[in-house]
Structure 1
Amino acid sequence: MKLFSFILLTILSLPSFAKDDTVNIYSFRQAFLIEPILQQFTEQTGIKTKVVFAEKGLIERIKREGRYSPADVVLTSNFSKLLQLTDENLTQAFNDAAVNANIPAHFRDDNGHWVALTKRIRNIYAAKDRVAAPFELNYEDLAQAKFKGKICTRSGKHPYNLGLVASMIAHHGQAETKAWLLAVKNNLARKPQGNDRAQVKAISEGLCDVSLGNSYYFGKMLTDPAQKAWADAVHIVYPNQQNRGAHVNVSGAAIAKHAPNKQNAIKLIAFLASEQAQQAYSLLNFEYPVNPQVKPAPMVASWGEFKEDTLPLTQVAKNRPAALKLIDEVKFDL
């Protein structure tokens, strides 16, 4: 009797989410970015969307709700969250011809549990007045003695840097990557801190000459009057253009394990992979489309063409635990 009462109370306490004509979204992505795209989806399909947005705590919420969770789709702002959702058995596999046609295989989970929706490059930002052009920088070059005391970065454990280190392991092995990490740490101008934009600000203030940062932040800074001077002080550099290409991070989507509206969830993800939605992502947030048929927004395209690392994200993912271990071993953030 007590168990029945507990279950009933749990059901009654859940938010009121509609079924059948609705897709319920738990989103790590900010509302301003996805709302215009979701509105287009509703206009074209008649399927309504209901969004719960939070920067933190959504995965814990899904686990807490269990089989009674109303979540249909989870939208993530980075690859790390996609992996966590899958690793904790909170997603279900799906297969859709339109999604497969629009999203290349190396940006889809081998078992069908997630897909990437946008790309961002892990760039190197370089001071215009202190780093000479032309730029043919590799991530490996950040370990060189010429950058002693000249590098700024956020925490090595942040998902963006963790993914880069994992890709380095995939290409070079753990021993070589550990040596590289230690050399980069010794080249830091200051203890890792702040976000990606804070590193560009530090370059503009003369605290360092180069930094790591995602590509879309360049567009955000250029269009923010308070931050434009930071962006104007740097070149955006695409690393490893003479070899494997620049490291790519992604945002993405997964279908929740207990999704009450799975078919609507599939329709939404198919729409997000379409040319229309992919163009909107690039215009709204300066990201690169995953759909190869879609060109980047004009501002993004103005930064130049580049070669990207085509290493499958699933291979990068396998190295993330080892990457975290190496970052701790070299005491990168201390």
Structure 2
Amino acid sequence: MAPKIYVIHENELWMEPLRAAFAELGLPYEEWYLDQGVLDFSSTPPPGLFYNRMSASSHTRGHRYGPEYAAAVLAWLECHGRRVVNNGRALQLEVSKIAQYAALTQHGIRVPRTVAAVGRHQVIDAARSFDGSFITKHNRAGKGLGVRLFRSHDALRRYVGSDVFEEPIDGITLVQEYIGAPEPFITRVEFVGGRFLYAVRVDTSLGFELCPADVCQVDDAFCPAGEAPPAASAPRFRILKDFREPIVEKYARFIADNGIGIAGIEFIIDAAGTIYTYDVNTNTNYNSEAEAEAGMYGMRAIAAYLGEELEMSVRP
């Protein structure tokens, strides 16, 4: 069997740009769609390179146990010494923001003050230690799931006691300090092959579902970064030319130490100029309009990188 690139995922739509990039570069690949399946641990994996794109938001597409199954498959691959881009450790970080924050903090990267709570009453208790505004979010989320801004503890109590309360898929709700940014935007820093690719500025005025893929829809009106309406002509995603921030070097060390080859990392800057990093996306997507405007293409960079890694993985 000839070695090829194997892409582990659970979302057909998010794969379309990568398929096009593989075709453009003439790279051999196969998709492993891991929403469900059977794994014979005593078998031997095929030769090749494996790229993990399993998403923390898989449950929103009816794939509740996709990450758990992917974790088993990655353990099997790594047991047999196969090269995995975004390995089992990367998947652990993908599905837990608390795990992300712990790893980021160990690398000297500031994260927002966060309290984890299991249970509705415990969410209310967790919020008591926050003065002023605060937000809630899901520990295992993706696409800004569960992000809501609260101006008072009474507002949280009403929400938690209502039928619209969103139960997190892993049971863990995070209560987090509100970062008051002077302008309603966040920055997302993209890495491919462990190297900085580009940074993109994301307007958060319309909500906080920040998935940049064209198939994502903006449907969350709660935004912790600001509430001013965006200019009608302003693009929501804009690639920043000549982006320079010392935080990029810290991010590069962080991903290298955690089995991550491809990722988008998001941060926000408060009025004092302090950077807070709040999310790591190891199944990163890209916005086609922003890329066309800048002439930079993330999925093509990923395909080229995977092609190089495939060639290296089969060398004697």
Q: Please say whether Structure 1 and Structure 2 have the same fold, judged by a TM-score greater than 0.5.
A: no
TM bucket by the smaller chain? 0.3 to 0.5
Higher relative contact order (CA 8 A, sep 6+): 1
Instruction: Please identify which structure carries the higher strand content.
Output: 2
Instruction: Please identify which structure carries the higher helix content.
Output: 1
Q: Give TM-score scaled by structure 2 length.
A: 0.36
Larger Rg: 1
Q: Give TM-score scaled by structure 1 length.
A: 0.35
